[in-house]
Amino acid sequence: MPEEAELYDVVVIGGGPGGSMTGTLLTDYGKRVLILEAERFPRYHIGESLLSGTAELMKRIGVLDRIEGDGYVKKHGVEWVWGENREPWTVYFKDALAMPYDYGYQVERGEFDKLLLDNAREHGADVREEHRVTGFELGTGGAPSTVSFTDADGGAHTVRTRWIVDSSGQGGLVTKQLHEQNWDPYLKNLAVWTYWTGAERPPGLDAGNTFLPTFDDGWWWFIPLREDRTSVGMVVDSRVLHENREGGMQAYYEACLAKTPELAARLAGATQADKIHVARDWSYQYDRFSGDGYIAVGDAACFIDPLFSTGVHLAMLSGFLAAVTVNTVLDRPEVPQAEALGFYEAAYRKEFARLRAQVYFLYGGHGSSKDSYFWHARSQFDVAEIDPEKAFISLIAGAFQHRSWYSRYLRELDVPGELRSTIEQIFDGKSTGVGVDPQAPLTTATELSYVDDLAIDGAHLRPGRSVVTPAGPTLAVTEHLGRLLELADGHRSSVDLVGALAAAGQERDSAQSLVHEAVSYGLLVPTA
């Protein structure tokens, strides 16, 4: 490599939402950033429905107003026909207690991703499209790493960099070479989709809602887009491709549509406007997301079933976490690199696990037919850490702001009576969890230990403290959690603890959620 090879602080491989998010923020933090994207944007990509919580991430990089102004369809909620009861039911983001935005967006990913990449360029990142990365070599002994790539004309180039961000999507250019990819044994799916014009949409506020009906072989998505274009696809078992190779996927798509009358009615007067697309949708995560000189964001680190439309959200969230982590590694040598990367991995995996647990719960035997291979296979979650009922209990521990969603699930799904009763009592403040009397005094578990940890403070990580739960995971000792652990003296019940936290100025729902979370994780136990 020539001595004069250009030196960057960070090279980002891939210009999708995760790469754009990371590159934009690191540029804002004063770093010299090169983003290498293999294609010319706009380019087609699936994954068109955004979570309402993604709006806060878009605001962080200054694009939310532009998204609002570009006329993307707003998604105020999600309509379900889920389970053997075929009555539709809808949940609305506006009913959540603590969401800053009461709608998400339905986006054409080509234009949306281009907006994000152009924004990175406007913030000062060196963005090069049609530049394909061909290899990398991690530096040793403090030397820079190198990244090799070809330009649009086929010319070969090499640059030096202090850090590499792998946002190359499911290709995982760095992670695939350095780490083991662990596939989820239960979520090996296939996505089959196309686009329609003239599809019937509900009136008023519901016109932009995602529609998710189940059928015997899986579930459908119906995503309204701009200009009367609607994305309509299904998620089915991956064996479908082999079984229908002779008849073709167009015929299979039509046959499945006929099995779903609620969706067929919406498309009765519509016209199919594109070919059938097919893609493998297997969920996975790598055993490591980072190492000395590199970090992976978005699908380059992990991918989850598309049921909750989490792809863009996880990509942009991990981009934010990665930017703060890398910025700390480059600026703050007093912060051990291993600790900074450990913070990133723990934070990203925690969000991934939370969203995956939601998928497990809805897949846990609530299909349109218990005799269907698809639903039967996904009901067999027979390992303790992914038991659907336990997953649901743990989910609501930190999600009181989504109370309306969970309450609606309880009403509409075939939830076991004991689980239904427990969750309803938690929401009503009459229970703290399974088998815990809200009037019984609580104390801290004797086996608690504390570790020095990190927390986000602006553009960097700063020293913090975490408590190690009896089950193994760590929780950051926030001001509120620290106060709760001090208050749990063996004489106060969960009701008393919620009242004490509220009296100290904490919002009551937040206090109730915190007490339930502490009990769920085993930090608080009944007094002997």
Q: What 8-state DSSP symbol labels residue 143?
A: P
List all residues 6 or more positions away from 30 whose beta carbon is below 8 Å from its beta carbon: none
Instruction: Please give the residue that has the higher pLDDT: either 403 or 92.
Output: 92
Question: Is pLDDT at 276 greater than 90 in this prediction?
Answer: yes
The number of residues making up the chain comes to 528
Q: Looking at residue 417, what is its pLDDT?
A: 72
Q: What is the mean pLDDT of residues 237-252?
A: 92
Distances (CA, A) of 158 to 136, 232, 382: 9, 42, 49
DSSP letters for 434-480: TTB-TTSEEEE-TT-EEEEEEEEETTEEEEEEEEE-TTS-EEE--HH
Q: Which helix (H) or strand (E) holds 166?
A: strand 156-166
Give the CATH number of domain 182-282: 3.30.9.100
Considering Cα of 509, then 511, then 515, then 518, what sign does the dihedral take?
positive
Q: Which residues pair with 137 in a beta bridge?
A: 146
C-alpha 349: how far from its chain's center?
A: 10
Predicted local confidence at residue 384, as pLDDT = 45
Q: Closest Cα partner for 488 from 433, 434, 448, 430?
A: 448
**Span 360-404, pLDDT tens digits:** 877 875 666 667 888 877 776 654 454 555 555 555 554 555 666
SS3 211: strand
Strand ranges, E, within 37-103:
73-75, 77-81, 89-92
Extract the tokens encoding 432: 């703290």
Q: What does the alpha-carbon distance between residue 399 and residue 96 come to, in Å, rounded to a whole number?
A: 10
Q: What CATH number was assigned to the domain covering residues 441-526?
A: 3.90.930
Range with lowest mean pLDDT among 178-187, 332-341, 398-407, 478-487: 398-407
Q: What is the pTM of this model?
A: 0.91
CA 10 to chain centre: 24
What's residue 189's pLDDT? 93
- Give the pairing type, strands 126-128 and 489-493: unpaired
Average pLDDT of the chain to the nearest whole number = 89
Tokens 């009358």 sit on residue: 261
Strand 181-197 with 277-286, pairing:
antiparallel
Angle at 302 between CA 20 and CA 222, to 5 degrees: 80
- Does residue 37 or residue 508 have the better pLDDT? 37
Half-sphere exposure of residue 16, counting CA atoms within 13 Å on the CB side?
29
How far apart CA 122 and CA 28 sit, in angstroms, is 11
CA 4, distance to chain mean position in Å, is 41
> What was the pLDDT predicted at 519?
84
The pLDDT of residue 86 is above 50: yes
Domain covering 7-71+106-179+283-336 in this structure, CATH number: 3.50.50.60
3-state SS, residue 76: coil
Indicate if the pLDDT at residue 469 is higher than 90: no
The encoded tokens of residue 7 equal 């030196």
**Tens digits of per-residue pLDDT, 423-465?**
777 777 777 666 667 888 999 998 789 988 999 999 999 999 9
Lowest mean pLDDT of 90-104, 139-153, 195-209, 213-227, name the range: 90-104
CATH 3.50.50.60 positions along the chain are 7-71+106-179+283-336
What pLDDT is attached to residue 383? 47
* pLDDT tens digits for range 279-329: 999 999 999 999 999 999 999 999 999 988 899 999 999 999 999 999 999
Q: Where along the chain do the CATH 3.30.9.100 domains lie? A: 182-282
- What pLDDT is attached to residue 300? 98
Contacting residues for 225 by C-beta, under 8 A, at least 6 apart: 48, 73, 106, 107, 108, 195, 231
Q: Cα–Cα distance between 415 and 370 in angstroms, integer? A: 14
**Backbone torsion region of residue 164, taken as left when φ is above 0, otherwise alpha when ψ lies between -120 and 50, otherwise beta:** beta
* Structure tokens, 404: 């309306």
Rg, Å, the chain Cα set: 24
Token pair for residue 503?
């009296």
> Does the pLDDT at position 268 exceed 70?
yes
Residue 279 has a pLDDT of 94
Among 478, 492, 480, CA closest to 524: 492
The reported pLDDT for the residue numbered 43 is 96
- CA nearest 145: which of 165, 175, 118? 165
Start-end ranges of CATH 3.90.930 in the chain? 441-526
Q: Which of 438, 429, 385, 389 is nearest to 409 (CA)?
A: 389
Share of the chain above pLDDT 70, in %: 90
What pLDDT score was predicted for residue 168? 98
Q: Beta partners for 526?
A: 442
Across 154-172, average pLDDT: 97
Give me the phi and psi of 284, to 5 degrees please: -160, 165
Query: CB–CB of 369/379 below 8 Å?
Result: no
Tokens for 235, please give them: 């998620």
pLDDT for residue 99:
63
Residue 428, C-beta contacts closer than 8 angstroms, at least 6 positions apart: none
Give 53 or 473, the one with higher predicted confidence: 53
Cis peptide, bond prior to residue 441, ω within 30 of zero: no
What pLDDT does residue 368 have? 62
Q: At what angle do helices 388-397 and 417-428 cross, to 10 degrees?
A: 0
